[in-house]
Amino acid sequence: MRNFFPFPDFTEPSPRPDVSDLRGQVREFLEEERAAGLIVPGLQTWTSFDRGFSERAAACGYIAMTWPKRYGGHERSAFERYVVCEEFLAAGAPVGSHWMADRQSGPQIMRNGTETLKDEVLPKIAAGKLTFGIGMSEPDSGSDLSSVRTRADKVDGGWRMEGRKVWTTNAHHADYLIVLCRTEPKSEDRYAGLSQLVVPLDAEGVTVRPLVNLTGEHELNEVIFDGNFVPEANLLGKGGDGWRLVTEELAFERSGPDRFLSTFGLLKVLVAAQEGNSDPHPVGEIGRLVARLAAIRELALLIGDRLEKGESANGIATIAKDLGTGLEQEIPEVARRIMAERPVRGQSDAAGALAFAILSAPCFSLRGGTREILKGIIARELGLR
Amino acid sequence: MTDTARMLDDTAERLLSRHFAAFSRESEDAAPKLVAELKEAGLDLVLAPEEAGGLQAGTLEASAIAFRWGYHAAPGAMVERLLLNQLAAPLGLESGDRHAICLEDASGRDERYAYASLLDDAKRILVCSAGQDDTLKVAVFDAANAERRKSMAGEDVLVLDLSAVAALETHKLEISFPEFRARAALLTATAILGATQRQLEIAIEHVNTRKQFGRPLAKFQAIQNLLAEAASEHVVAQAAVRSAIVEQEAGRLKPLRWQSAKVQAGRAATVVTAATHQVLGAIGFTEEHVLHHYSKRLWAWRDDFGRQSELERRIGADACANATKFWPWMVD
């Protein structure tokens, strides 16, 4: 079997900066937000939108942490960024306004965007003032993204777009959507001829329609493109190479703490509820979950080290997401069996957190690549396909 | 440091592959033969102090040998031998040979029985526990008082009823018990991952060559998913063990790190053996195939030097005791 990374690892471990001061500052910031009632524990996830939170976080330097200063970044290490991200998620902070842009869209634009586009959007993302959405899925294209039908036709000075994206998180708040679309007709190679365009959502011809999810919230949307214009400068890459760009960003998208901390708020509630319980069974079940979480976190940190050194991590990032989301889904089930609570909605208490987690759980193994697609990728890495 | 580990890894791999090219794992004298070769190469003294002729190396170096031991499903209790030789000189013994070693769960629920793998024909059992100030306390028992049984892998083990017999003598060593216990768990976890690595290789090779319904088993999505899941368990355990070893070497290992690493390795053992047996079918369920040597060791090692469910319970108890600062407790 091909090794995903050296084990036992006899190389010198990657040096990591001391982050205890940074953690202290982030926790202080989060404590102020909590004290002001701006964090609702157990009822928020990393898709919860709050522009104000993002602006205040940006003012502290917690967004665009690794980016160059000339784009408003702070030139800190990927490890420090990881630390801030996990502290935000562990606290249940509403990071939805900046999360996608900071994690994925910004770095993608940095790597493959035109200078005009970089100057236009990156400093505003870094300031927490822009929200990005990811426009990949379509009504008839879920896991099979190569079949997307949204298309952009070349016109003078840019592109004109026709099509429809669905299940787009926070599109109703977003300023831009990075849209995977067809810019050349489909050929033998079904992955060729796709492009990624940075689409301004305030343009004429764009309609955003709500899709209410299982928790009863409006976070997902349908986005309809009916002849809207996208400027030339908003093309990522060379055009036609959109598939490569999509796969490049996957290791970053799939290995972060957002893939294993989505129900951490409930785990905290569960642990607190068992304080002083001497029954070994529920305590052991909690230990099993905590051991799993600690191990998956080590996997995410290892992936971070590898990405920072420019080493490949697509295979392990896929594993990290599959295992992490599995844990996120297991936590509500274990909690339901241990806690003396019925899941009831409407309050930020144990019963409310349990209900929220159960209702949110199905999407964890869908968004960012379904479990089945991930397993297929892992199987290929193992030499089985 | 890391050069030594690499050198040990090479030596152990060469020694073991040469050995198993010539001898089978089944024969009565398989373990003694291998142990003799191992001693000639000095591999048993990696953790022994320099003044006792050892390398006085750390967990990383020892893990190179533990990994190869698991990878070859080699007979004999290698992790025990490495640990015994770390304690032999401080205990005034010439070597750790002819002893058995185990850890007593002093701070958890009472574990009445001590299970110790037998080395050679051991006369003494060393039961290690936490003494004052967390130093290592060694209680020495007469092996004649223990019941002799077979481990899952068919090797001799001693089962000692700690409530029924008294120690012959006890020693206090200037060695940290928490570190020793963590090392024992991490070496066992590394041996597990050597064995799961090899089992996955065997499974992958098998499904790529065996055909049913006119195509290789590997072309069936059900088989792909099963092995993808097994490999994922192996990988996450590797990450946890790797980082715990790094932290132990740096002298900042927290209990949660090694406990969770051992728990994950145990889980990997369960999932990988189950998946491998499933894809090998009846072929893997007879002694004709080498697979069982791996499976049986994996099933035993899950509960050696840190019983999986006991470690989970401890992690859970620690987490609940730190409920008000749960997240900082986990990551700081």
> Which residue reads 């189950």 in tokens?
B274
By residue count, chain A amounts to 385
pLDDT of residue B104: 78
Nearest alpha-carbon partner for B243 in A1, A296, A20: A296
What contacts B137, CB < 8 A, 6 or more positions away? Answer: B128, B129, B130, B131, B170, B171, B172, B173, B177
Query: Is B224's CB within 8 Å of A274's CB?
Result: no
Nearest CA in chain A to B63: A8
- Mean pLDDT across chain B: 93
Query: If pLDDT is split at 50, 70 and 90, which confidence band does B244 have?
Result: very high
Strand, coil or helix: what is A149? Answer: coil
Cross-chain Cβ contact B243/A302 below 8 Å:
yes
- The DSSP code sequence of B288-318 is TSTHHHHHHHHHHHTTSSS-HHHHHHHHHHH
What is residue A133's DSSP assignment?
E
Residue type, A189: D
Chain B residues closer than 8 Å to A11 by CB: 2
Q: How near does any CA of chain A get to the CA of B82, in Å?
A: 17
Say if the Cβ atoms of B231 and A319 lie within 8 Å: yes
Phi/psi for A85 (5° steps) reads -60, -45
How close does chain A come to B246, measured CA to CA in Å? 7
Per the listing, tokens 């130093």 go with B135
Render pLDDT for B63-108 as a digit per residue (tens, 0 to 9).
Answer: 999 999 999 999 989 999 999 999 999 999 988 888 899 887 644 4
Q: What are the respective helix, strand and coil percentages of chain A, to the nearest 5? A: 45, 15, 40
Beta bridge mates, B124: B99, B142
Predicted pLDDT of residue A259:
96
Model pLDDT, residue B110:
52
CB contacts, 8 Å: A276 with chain B: 320
Nearest chain B residue to A371, by CA: B225
Chain A positions touching B238 (Cβ under 8 A) are 4-5, 7
Residues 284-323 of A with CB under 8 A from B: 284-288, 290-299, 301-302, 316, 319-320, 322-323
Instruction: Indicate if the pLDDT at residue B111 is higher than 70.
Output: no
Quickly count: other Cβ atoms within 10 Å of residue A342's Cβ: 9
Give the minimum alpha-carbon distance from B211 to chain A in angstroms, rounded to a whole number.
13
Chain B residues whose CB is inside 8 A of the A302 CB are 239, 242-243
3-class state of residue B156 by DSSP? strand
Across the interface, whether the CB atoms of A8 and B9 are under 8 A apart is answered yes
With a cut of 60, say whether residue B31 has pLDDT above it: yes
Residue-level pLDDT at B109: 45
CB contact under 8 A, B313 and A379: no
How much is the pLDDT for A375? Answer: 97
Is the Cβ pair A294, B330 closer than 8 Å? yes
Q: Cβ separation of B323 and A20 shorter than 8 Å?
A: no
b/e map of A259-297 (b: 16 or more CB within 10 Å)? bbbbbbbbbbbbbebbeeeeebebbbbbbbbbbbbbbbb
How many CB atoms neighbour CB A111 within 10 A?
A: 12
Nearest residue, CB atoms, A283 vs list B228, B313, B332: B313
Cα angle vertex B162, ends B161, B167, to 5°? 120
For the cut 90, the answer to whether the pLDDT of residue B29 exceeds it is no
Q: Are A366 and A262 in contact (CB under 8 A)?
A: no
- A–B interface: beta-carbon pairs under 8 A: 187
pLDDT for the residue numbered A16: 85
Q: Do B60 and A8 touch (CB under 8 A)?
A: yes
Mean pLDDT of B118-135: 88
Residues of chain A with Cβ-Cβ distance to B230 below 8 Å are none
Contact A290 B227 (CB under 8 A): no
- Report residue B59 CA to chain centroid gap: 12
CA distance to partner chain A, nearest, from residue B80 (Å): 19
> Is there a contact between A8 and B316 if contact means CB atoms under 8 Å apart?
no
**Residue in the block written with tokens 């030789």:** B85
Residue A382 CA neighbour count, 13 Å, CB half: 33
Name beta bridge partners: A223.
A165, A208
Q: Which of B60, B253, B312, B325 to mutate to test the interface with A (most CBs of A within 10 A)?
A: B312
Q: Residue A154 has what pLDDT?
A: 97
Chain mean position to CA B175: 20
Neighbours of A21 (CB within 10 A): 9
> How high is the pLDDT of residue B117?
79
- What number is the ipTM of this complex? 0.96
| Residues in chain A with pLDDT values less than 50 | none
B33 pLDDT above the threshold of 80: yes
Tens of pLDDT, residues A94-114: 999 999 999 999 999 999 999
Crossing angle, helix B2-22 and helix B30-40, to 10 degrees? Answer: 140
DSSP sequence for B194-252: HHHHHHHHHHHHHHHH-EETTEEGGGSHHHHHHHHHHHHHHHHHHHHHHHHHHHHHTT-
CB atoms within 10 A of CB A362: 11
Quick one: pLDDT at residue B106?
47
Map tokens 């079997």 to a residue. Answer: A1
